[in-house]
Amino acid sequence: MNAFIWKLAIPIWKEVLLSTLLNVAITVCYLAQAMCLANLVIGLFFDTQATSNTSWAVLFLGATFIRIIVMALYELSALRTGRITKTRLHTQLIPKALSLHNHATGELVSTIVPGVNALESYYSRYIPAVGGALFGTALVLGVIVSFDWLSALILALCGIAIPIVDRVWLKVCRPEASQLIKAMGSFASAMLDSLQGITTLKSLNASDQRRSLLAEKAAILRQQAMIILYGTLMRNFATSFIGLGAMAFVIILGCFRFQNGEINVGALISLLFLVREVFRPIDKLDKTFHTAWAANSAAKPIYELLSQSDKNQPDNTPTKNSAGSLSPLHHDIVFSDVSFTWDQTQNGEPVLKDLNLSIKENEFVAIVGPSGAGKSTLSSLLMRFNTPQEGKITIGDIDLQSLTEPDTRALMSCVFQDTWLFHGSIEDNLRIAAPNVSLAAIHHAAKQANIHEFIMILPDGYQTQIGERGSTLSGGQKQRLAFARACLKNAPIFILDEATASLDAENESVIQASLKTFAGKKTLIVIAHRLSTIQQADRILVLDKGRLVESGSHNTLISKGGLYSSLFQQQSQANRDDAQLTQRTSQYASTNP
Ligand SMILES: Nc1ncnc2c1ncn2[C@@H]1O[C@H](COP(=O)(O)OP(=O)(O)OP(=O)(O)O)[C@@H](O)[C@H]1O
C-alpha cells in the first residue's frame, strides 16, 4: 500500500473500520454455523440426547439469521464507505482538473474515472476483506487448534502462502499495471482528440493516418492488457491450487489419522465442517484483490494530478479582510518584473521576461505584437490560469496571489478566440456567466453583441438547443454569444483576446460600438492582430519576444517609426493588396458575365 492511499483513508477511517468489523462478524457467524452443524451431526450419530441436538439446531438457525442481518449491514456499510470515498475524491479532483490547462482531456478523464472507482472499491471492499482475512482466519484457526493443532498448522501455513503469492504477483505486475493505465490514458486521449477533431481530420484527408495512430495505441493497450491477464491467470491458478489443495490434503490426512486413532470422530467431523471456513475470508479477499493493484496503480497518477495542479496553481489561501473576502478598492493593473516560462517549451526560454507595465482603471489598452510575442500568455497570467515564476501582478495594489482564483476572475470578463459553448439552450449558455439575471438583462447583453435579432428569428428563440460545443452555430455567431456572455458577467475588467477575429466587418463594427459604451466605465484590454480595430485605444502596448518595447497612442507610435509602425505598414499594404484583388475580381466578373 502506498503512502497516498493511507493519506486519503484518514478522513474515512471510521467507515472503513466499521465495514471491517462487520466483515469479521460475518466470518464469526459462518464459524458459529459450522460449529453448530458439526455438533449437531456428532449429536445425531453419537449422542442420544434429543434436547441437546435441538439446541444445536436452534443455535444453527439463530447464527444463520444473524449472518443474514450482518451481511446486509456490511453491504450497507460498504456502499456508504464507497459513496463517501467517491464524493471526497471527486470534490478534490474535479476542481483541480478544471483548473488545469495543459492536460489532454482524455488522459484526465481516464485518470480520474477509473482511478476514483479503484480507490472506492479499495476502501469499501478490499480493506474490510483484508481485516476479515486476518482476524476471521485467525479465529477459525484458533478454534481448530483447540482440537487438532497439526491440521491448524498446515492450514495456517497454506493460508499465509496465498498472500505471499499475491505479493510476488503484485511486485511483478505492478509496473505492468502502471504501463496498462498509461496505455489506457494514451489511447483514450488520442480517441477523444480524434473524435473532437474529426472535421479537421476529414478536411485534411488525414483519417487514415489517424486511424493508424489509433491502431498503434490500441495494439499497445492490448499487449499490456494481455500481460496483466496472463499474470492474473497464473496467480489465480497458484492461489486456487494452494487453497483447494490444502483443504483436500487436511481432510484426507484427517481421515487417515482418525483411522490410526490419532484423532477422534468429533475432531474429524469438526474439521470437515471448519476447514472451508479457514479459506472463506481468504477467498473473499481474493475476489477483491484486483482492486488492490488497480488502486495502487491509480494512486500515483491521481497523486501526480493533485500535486501537479498544486505546483502550478498559486496558494489559494487569501489574506481576507474582516468581511471574509478580499476585494480591491480600485482596478489599476500592474505587472512588476514578471517572467514566465511554459513547461517544456522554448527550451526553458521565458515567454515573458522582466515585464513591467501598468494599466489604469477604466483605461482602454490594446496589446499588440508579432505572433508568439507573449500576448495571450500575459492575459492567461492575469486570469490566473498560470502563475509567473518571477515578479508579481497586482490589481488595485493587491497581489493576485493574495486573492482566491474565484475572487480574481470575478473582476474580469473575457472573450477568447476559441469559444466554448456547452450542450444546452442559448439561454443556458448565456446564464453560465450570471445565473440569476433577468431575461431583460440577457436580451440587453445579446443586443450589445449584435446577436439578439438572430436569436429571435430562431424557432425556439433563447430556448434553442445549440448542440454539442455549439455545433449548430457559425464561428461568428458563437463568438457573438461569447461576447454577450462576457457582457452579462459585467465585470470591471474586460479582456478580449483575438475575440473579433472571426467576425465580419459589420458585426465587428457593432462590437466596437459596444466597446465604446464601456469607455470610462470599464478597463478594456484588447489583444488583436488586426491593428485597424484598436486604433481608438487610449494606449497601445507593443510586445516583442516577451518584453514591452513600445507604448503610446496610435499616432504617437506611428510617428515614432518603430515596431508598431512597421507592423501597421505591413498590414495596410496587405489590406491594399486585398482591396485591389477584390476590385480586379469584380471588374473581371462584370466584363465576363
Ligand atoms: N499552453 C501553452 N503551453 C506551452 N507553450 C505555450 C502555451 N501557450 C503559448 N505557448 C508558447 O508561448 C509563446 C507565446 O505564446 P502566446 O500565445 O502568448 O503568444 P501571442 O503573442 O499571443 O501569439 P499569437 O499572436 O500568435 O496568438 C509561444 O512560443 C507559444 O509556443
Q: How far is the CA of 45 from the centre of ligand 1 (A)?
A: 87
Ligand 1, atom nearest to 102 Cα:
1
With the most atoms of ligand 1 within 8 angstroms of its CB, the residue from 345, 498, 531 to mutate is 345
Of 137, 368, 127, whose CA–CA distance to 275 is shortest?
137
Give φ, ψ of 359 to 5 degrees.
Answer: -130, 120
Burial level of 405, CB count in 10 A (0-12/13-18/19+)? middle
Q: How far is the CA of 388 from the centre of ligand 1 (A)?
A: 14
Per-domain residue ranges for the chain?
A: 3-306, 333-561
- Residue 155 confidence (pLDDT): 93
Q: How far is the CA of 351 from the centre of ligand 1 (A)?
A: 8
Q: How far is the CA of 373 from the centre of ligand 1 (A)?
A: 7
Atom 27 of ligand 1, nearest CA residue: 371
- Residue 402 confidence (pLDDT): 87
- Residue 112 confidence (pLDDT): 78
Within a 10 A sphere around the Cβ of 555, how many other Cβ atoms?
A: 9
- Residue 593 confidence (pLDDT): 61
Atom 26 of ligand 1, nearest CA residue: 371
pLDDT category at 422 given cuts 50, 70, 90 is: confident
Alpha-carbon distance of 281 to 284, in angstroms, equals 5
Share of residues in the chain with pLDDT > 70 (%) = 90
Q: How far is the CA of 374 from the centre of ligand 1 (A)?
A: 6
Alpha-carbon distance of 73 to 68, in angstroms, equals 9
Q: How far is the CA of 325 from the centre of ligand 1 (A)?
A: 33
Q: What beta strand segments (E) does 341-397 contain? A: 352-359, 364-368, 390-395
For residues 276-280, average pLDDT: 89
Alpha-carbon distance of 262 to 257, in angstroms, equals 5
With the most atoms of ligand 1 within 8 angstroms of its CB, the residue from 342, 367, 382, 525 to mutate is 342
Ligand 1, atom nearest to 377 Cα:
18
Q: How far is the CA of 345 from the centre of ligand 1 (A)?
A: 10
Name the least confident of 29-38, 167-176, 371-380.
Answer: 167-176
Amino acid at 53: N
Q: How far is the CA of 541 from the centre of ligand 1 (A)?
A: 17
For residues 41-51, average pLDDT: 76
Name the least confident of 4-13, 435-444, 489-498.
Answer: 4-13
Atom 7 of ligand 1, nearest CA residue: 342
Most confident of 197-206, 329-338, 494-503: 329-338
pLDDT digit string, tens, across residues 260-275: 988 888 899 999 989 9
Alpha-carbon distance of 434 to 532, in angstroms, equals 32
Q: How far is the CA of 560 from the centre of ligand 1 (A)?
A: 27
The b-or-e profile of 274-284 (16+ CB within 10 A means b, else e) is bbebbbbbbeb
Q: Cα(first)–Cα(last) distance of the chain, in Å?
A: 80
Alpha-carbon distance of 199 to 48, in angstroms, equals 85
Give φ, ψ of 560 to 5 degrees.
Answer: -70, -30
Ligand 1, atom nearest to 344 Cα:
4
Pick the CATH number of 333-561 from 3.30.70.980, 3.40.50.980, 3.30.1370.60, 3.40.50.300: 3.40.50.300
pLDDT category at 321 given cuts 50, 70, 90 is: very low
The secondary structure of 161-226, three-state, reads: HHHHHHHHHHHHHHHHHHHHHHHHHHHHHHHHHHHHCHHHHHHCCCHHHHHHHHHHHHHHHHHHHH
- pLDDT surpasses 90 at 232: no
Q: How far is the CA of 372 from the centre of ligand 1 (A)?
A: 5
Ligand 1, atom nearest to 374 Cα:
18
**What does pLDDT average to over the chain?**
83
Tell me which residues have their CB closer than 6 angstroms to ligand 1. 102, 342, 345-346, 351, 369, 371-377
Q: Say yes or no: ipTM exceeds 0.90.
A: yes
pLDDT category at 3 given cuts 50, 70, 90 is: confident
CB 31 within 8 A of CB 275: no
- pLDDT surpasses 70 at 240: yes
Atom 16 of ligand 1, nearest CA residue: 374
- Residue 107 confidence (pLDDT): 65
For residues 225-242, average pLDDT: 85
* Topology alike, domains 3-306 and 333-561: no
Atom 12 of ligand 1, nearest CA residue: 351
Q: How far is the CA of 129 from the centre of ligand 1 (A)?
A: 51
Q: How far is the CA of 371 from the centre of ligand 1 (A)?
A: 8
Ligand 1, atom nearest to 543 Cα:
21
Q: How far is the CA of 544 from the centre of ligand 1 (A)?
A: 12
Q: For residue 118, what are the contacts with CB-CB under 8 A and spacing of at least 6?
A: 291, 294, 295, 297, 298
Sequence length of the chain is 593
- Residue 21 confidence (pLDDT): 94
- Compute CA 488 distance to the chain's CA centroid, rounded to the nearest angstrom: 29
Atom 1 of ligand 1, nearest CA residue: 102
With the most atoms of ligand 1 within 8 angstroms of its CB, the residue from 377, 382, 548 to mutate is 377
With the most atoms of ligand 1 within 8 angstroms of its CB, the residue from 343, 375, 495, 531 to mutate is 375
Amino acid at 4: F
Instruction: Tell me the pTM.
Output: 0.60
Atom 28 of ligand 1, nearest CA residue: 372
The continuous run of DSSP H or E covering 121 comes out as helix 105-121
Domain 3-306 fold:
ABC transporter transmembrane region fold (1.20.1560)
